[in-house]
C-alpha cells in the first residue's frame, strides 16, 4: 500500500469517526429534548389536574339567600387596584345582611371566573367568627389570630389572600360567602375542594359578590 492509499484510508476512518460523533451528538440532543418535553408535559398535566379539581361549582345548587356587599366595590363593578396584585393586594371587606341565628361560622371562597383553564381559585378561608362584616386587610398565615383563629388554606394564595392579577383582558372575580351551622375541623393545608366537601350539609346561607379587574 502506497502513501496515497494509506492517507485515503486514514481520511476515511477520520470521516467515519466524525460522522459517528455527529450522530451520537445529535442523538444525545434529541434525548435531552425528549426528556425536557416529558417533564414539561408531566408538570403541565399536574397543573391542569389541580385546576380541574378546583373547577367546581361554588354554590352547590344553593339559592342565594344572603346579601353580600362591600365598601370597596359594587356588584359587577371594577375592583380598585388597592385590592389587587397590581396594588397592595389586601382583601376587601364583605358586609353580610341578616345572618341566621343558628349560624356558627363563616367561610369565603374567592375565584377568577375567566381564567383560560376554567374557574381558578385565589383564596379560601373558613372558621371566621360570626359577624355582619368580614373585615378587610386580613393578615397572612394559616391561622389568623386577629380574626378569632380563622383558617386560611391553599389556593393561588397559599394561606393568604391573593387578589386579581389577570395576564390579559378583564376578568371577573367572585367572592362566595357561606354561613355555616358549625366550625370546620379542616387542616390548613386543605384547598378549595376539601373545603367544599367539608361544608356540605352545613350551609345555612349563601351569597356572593362579583367584581371585575382589567389587566393594566
For residue 139, pLDDT beyond 60? yes
> Between residues 84 and 168, which one has the greater pLDDT?
84
The overall average pLDDT reported for the chain is 86
Distances (CA, A) of 110 to 65, 76, 83, 126, 205: 18, 15, 13, 12, 16
So what's the pLDDT on residue 59? 46
Q: How many CB atoms lie within 10 A of CB 178?
A: 27
Model confidence at 195: pLDDT above 80? yes
* CA–CA dist 126, 135 (Å, integer): 13
Which has the higher per-residue pLDDT, 49 or 40?
Answer: 40
The pLDDT, as a whole number, for residue 186 is 97
Q: CB within 8 A of 20, min separation 6: which ones?
A: none
Helix (H) or strand (E) holding 182, with range, is none
- pLDDT score of 23: 73
Rg (CA), the chain: 28
Please compute the mean of the pLDDT values over residues 146-153 and round it to a whole number. 97
Q: Quick check: 121 and 192 in contact, CB under 8 A?
A: yes
97-130: per-residue pLDDT in tens? 999 999 999 999 999 999 998 999 999 999 999 9
Please report the pLDDT score of residue 131 as a whole number.
96
pLDDT at site 4: 58
Phi, psi of 46 (to 5 degrees): -65, -45
Give 162-183 pLDDT, tens digit per residue.
Answer: 999 998 899 999 999 999 999 9
pLDDT at 72 over 90: yes
Distance CA(109)–CA(175), nearest Å, equals 6
Query: Is the pLDDT at 89 greater than 70, yes or no?
Result: yes
Per residue in 94-133, is it b (16+ CB within 10 Å) or e — as a string? bebeeeeeebbbbbbbbbbebbeeebbbbbbbbbbeeeee
Alpha helices in the chain (DSSP H): 3-54, 192-199
Which residues, including other chains, have CB under 8 Å from residue 3's CB and lie 6 or more apart? none
Residue 210 has pLDDT above 90, yes or no: yes
Q: By C-alpha distance, which of 162, 165, 177 is closest to 131?
A: 177
Fold (CATH) for 68-214: Phosphatidylethanolamine-binding Protein (3.90.280)
Greater pLDDT, 47 or 146: 146
Whether the per-residue pLDDT at 6 is higher than 70: the answer is no
The number of residues in the chain equals 216
Amino acid at each position: 500500500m502506497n502513501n496515497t492509499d494509506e492517507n485515503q484510508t486514514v481520511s476515511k476512518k477520520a470521516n467515519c469517526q466524525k460522522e459517528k460523533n455527529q450522530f451520537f451528538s445529535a442523538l444525545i440532543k434529541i434525548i435531552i429534548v425528549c426528556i425536557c418535553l416529558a417533564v414539561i408535559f408531566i408538570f403541565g398535566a399536574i397543573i391542569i389536574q389541580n385546576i380541574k379539581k378546583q373547577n367546581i361549582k361554588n354554590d352547590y345548587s344553593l339559592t342565594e339567600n344572603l346579601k353580600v356587599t362591600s365598601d370597596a366595590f359594587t356588584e359587577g363593578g371594577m375592583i380598585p387596584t388597592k385590592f389587587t396584585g397590581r396594588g397592595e393586594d389586601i382583601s376587601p371587606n364583605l358586609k353580610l345582611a341578616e345572618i341566621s341565628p343558628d349560624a356558627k361560622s363563616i367561610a369565603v371562597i374567592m375565584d377568577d371566573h375567566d381564567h383560560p383553564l376554567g374557574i381558578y381559585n385565589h383564596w379560601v378561608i373558613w372558621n371566621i367568627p360570626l359577624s355582619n362584616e368580614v373585615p378587610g386587610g386580613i393578615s397572612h398565615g394559616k391561622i389568623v389570630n386577629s380574626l378569632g383563629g380563622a383558617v386560611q388554606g391553599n389556593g393561588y394564595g397559599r394561606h393568604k389572600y391573593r387578589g386579581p392579577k389577570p395576564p390579559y383582558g378583564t376578568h371577573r372575580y367572585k367572592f362566595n360567602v357561606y354561613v355555616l351551622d358549625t366550625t370546620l375541623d379542616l387542616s390548613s393545608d386543605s384547598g378549595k375542594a376539601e373545603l367544599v366537601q367539608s361544608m356540605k350539609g352545613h350551609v345555612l346561607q349563601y351569597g356572593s359578590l362579583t367584581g371585575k379587574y382589567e389587566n393594566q
